[in-house]
């Protein structure tokens, strides 16, 4: 792809201010390719999280959602200003500030921006300031791949931190792997992601872990025995999550009374809701394996069409759209698994939330803000332990991470694996709030 000439400091600031929701003059943009679908990949084996006990925390409140962002053109990677003179650490931040994933990736981008500011204010990494390259992927896989390619080939970044979806990581990861650039996936959760190569690291737990947590919660804690499945067929994340949930739920003795599908972006779910209503016997709950842009609509239509059953899912529910679209009454009786960072009273998480609120004058709207924050800090920590920015040395330092404490939990990479052992937060939606029920590690986790 063509290279883009350097932007001025003013336009660079304008781009990311706009990306993070602050008013700013428009920055120069680059044309993007039309959307394409990333192919699903075969699962590969990754160790399950080591069982540890995490205490339950007091319920916390998630802010009411802001209006859904409208689509804007993707911008080429741009830099924010750093101190003049001296070598810098170049880090690329590809995030979907607009489009289907904007409700969570815009928050993740803010978390990363906050971490960069804090690290630079504290003296940088090994005496070097972070030179960040930000770009909007528009929640489009081809645009994301082009952005990451430019960051690697033209901007010569030393690391990449970003993205929150499996399909995007499977499409962009090979670019970083081929170039030998460490890539910290902040939110994509399918264990297959790390099969791309040894420069690809996951910050979150795997889908097999969070699916097992919800399966054990529904069967063991709630005593629910019969489920209906609704699965988005367009995304790798939703397919993996559904697969792992069914495996663990039925292994315990649960029954799937219905396994129905829809296509991501669909707006009418009346056919699926009619099937659920006509089931005899009725299921105890519906597991909807959905992405952030769809789940609010699904919940609203379910309630409007008389499906009042509990609705259960994964971390794709951790979006303000789940509260905004259905409203307070319809969004009640929804449960999901997600990450730590904006729930509970862990001191590291509380410190992050306080800093975020001070920086942006608002509470984090999604837990992905904490993941974006942790991704930068973990890469910075690895660079410090590596004693520099040599890519192989940073990769090896990341792989050796043990007991690193972040806002979203403690990170340890088991030997030979790049998926961390982490606890899972279980959330209940009630009174227009996301309330923390418990923090768990599943008793048994399906093989990837």
Contact predicate 184/378, CB 8 Å: yes
Size of the chain, expressed as the number of residues it contains: 448
pLDDT value of position 137: 98
Helix (H, G, I), strand (E, B) or coil at 446: coil
* Token couple for 159: 């690391």
Q: How many whole angstroms from its chain centre is CA 165?
A: 6
Q: Is 197 left (phi over 0), alpha (psi -120 to 50) or beta?
A: left
Helix (H, G, I), strand (E, B) or coil at 101: coil
Q: Structural domains in the chain?
A: 14-19+50-205+345-422 (3.40.50.2300), 208-339+427-440 (3.40.50.2300)
- Measured CA to CA, the distance from residue 351 to residue 35 in angstroms comes to 39
- Measured CA to CA, the distance from residue 285 to residue 224 in angstroms comes to 7
pLDDT value of position 369: 98
Once rounded to an integer, what is the mean pLDDT over residues 417-439? Answer: 95
pLDDT value of position 77: 61
Edge-to-edge order in the sheet of strand 424-430:
255-262, 226-232, 285-289, 311-313, 334-338, 424-430, 433-440
pLDDT value of position 85: 52
- Measured CA to CA, the distance from residue 364 to residue 357 in angstroms comes to 7
Contact predicate 160/184, CB 8 Å: yes
pLDDT value of position 1: 36
- Measured CA to CA, the distance from residue 24 to residue 33 in angstroms comes to 25
- Measured CA to CA, the distance from residue 339 to residue 426 in angstroms comes to 9
Q: How confident is the model at residue 15 (pLDDT cuts 50, 70, 90)?
A: very low
* Token couple for 260: 């129905």
pLDDT value of position 428: 98
- Measured CA to CA, the distance from residue 424 to residue 282 in angstroms comes to 29
- Measured CA to CA, the distance from residue 302 to residue 74 in angstroms comes to 34
Q: How confident is the model at residue 78 (pLDDT cuts 50, 70, 90)?
A: low
How does pLDDT run across 254-302, given as a tens digit for each residue? 999 999 999 999 999 999 999 999 999 999 999 999 999 999 999 999 9
pLDDT value of position 421: 86
Q: Is-cis flag, bond preceding 177, omega within 30?
A: no
- Measured CA to CA, the distance from residue 103 to residue 65 in angstroms comes to 9
Task: Examine the pLDDT at 351 and tell me if it is beyond 70.
Answer: yes
Contact predicate 295/318, CB 8 Å: no
Once rounded to an integer, what is the mean pLDDT over residues 106-127? Answer: 98
pLDDT value of position 6: 33
Q: How many whole angstroms from its chain centre is CA 232?
A: 17
Task: Give the residue among 290, 296, 220, 287 at the shortest CA–CA distance from 251.
Answer: 220
- Measured CA to CA, the distance from residue 418 to residue 205 in angstroms comes to 10
* Token couple for 178: 């081929």
Return mean pLDDT, the chain: 86
Which is higher by pLDDT, 392 or 84? Answer: 392
């Amino acid at each position: 792809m063509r290279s883009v000439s350097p932007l001025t400091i003013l336009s660079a600031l304008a781009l990311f201010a706009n990306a993070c929701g602050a008013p700013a003059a428009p920055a120069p943009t680059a044309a993007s390719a039309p959307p394409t679908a990333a192919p699903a990949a075969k699962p590969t084996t990754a160790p399950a999280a080591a069982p540890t006990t995490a205490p339950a925390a007091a319920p916390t409140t998630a802010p009411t959602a802001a209006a859904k962002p409208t689509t804007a053109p993707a911008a080429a990677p741009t830099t924010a200003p750093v101190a003049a003179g001296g070598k810098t650490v170049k880090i690329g931040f590809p995030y979907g500030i607009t489009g289907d994933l904007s409700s969570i990736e815009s928050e993740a981008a803010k978390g990363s921006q906050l971490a960069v500011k804090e690290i630079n204010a504290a003296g940088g990494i090994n005496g070097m300031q972070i030179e960040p390259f930000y770009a909007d992927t528009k929640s489009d896989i081809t645009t994301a791949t082009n952005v990451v390619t430019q960051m690697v080939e033209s901007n010569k970044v030393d690391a990449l931190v970003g993205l929150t979806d499996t399909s995007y990581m499977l499409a962009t990861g090979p670019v970083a792997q081929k170039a030998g650039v460490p890539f910290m996936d902040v939110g994509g959760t399918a264990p297959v992601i790390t099969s791309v190569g040894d420069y690809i690291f996951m910050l979150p737990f795997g889908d097999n872990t969070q699916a097992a947590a919800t399966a054990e919660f529904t069967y063991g804690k709630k005593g629910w025995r019969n489920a209906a499945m609704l699965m988005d067929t367009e995304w790798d994340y939703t397919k993996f999550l559904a697969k792992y949930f069914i495996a663990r739920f039925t292994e315990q003795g649960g029954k799937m009374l219905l396994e129905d599908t829809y296509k991501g972006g669909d707006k009418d779910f009346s056919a699926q809701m009619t099937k659920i209503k006509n089931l005899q016997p009725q299921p105890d709950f519906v597991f909807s394996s959905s992405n952030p842009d769809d789940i609010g609509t699904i919940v609203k239509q379910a309630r409007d069409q008389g499906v009042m059953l509990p609705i259960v899912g994964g971390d794709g529910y951790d979006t303000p759209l789940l509260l905004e679209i259905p409203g307070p009454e319809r969004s009640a009786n929804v449960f999901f698994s997600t990450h730590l960072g904006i729930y509970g009273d862990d001191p590291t998480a509380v410190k992050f939330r306080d800093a975020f609120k001070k920086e942006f004058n608002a509470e984090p709207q999604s837990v992905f803000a904490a993941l974006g924050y942790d991704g930068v800090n973990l890469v910075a920590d690895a660079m410090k332990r590596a004693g520099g920015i040599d890519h192989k040395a940073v990769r090896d330092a990341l792989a050796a991470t043990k007991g690193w404490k972040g806002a979203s939990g403690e990170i340890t990479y088991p030997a030979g694996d790049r998926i961390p052992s982490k606890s899972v937060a279980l959330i209940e939606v009630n009174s227009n709030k996301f309330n923390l029920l418990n923090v768990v590690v599943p008793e048994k986790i399906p093989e990837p």
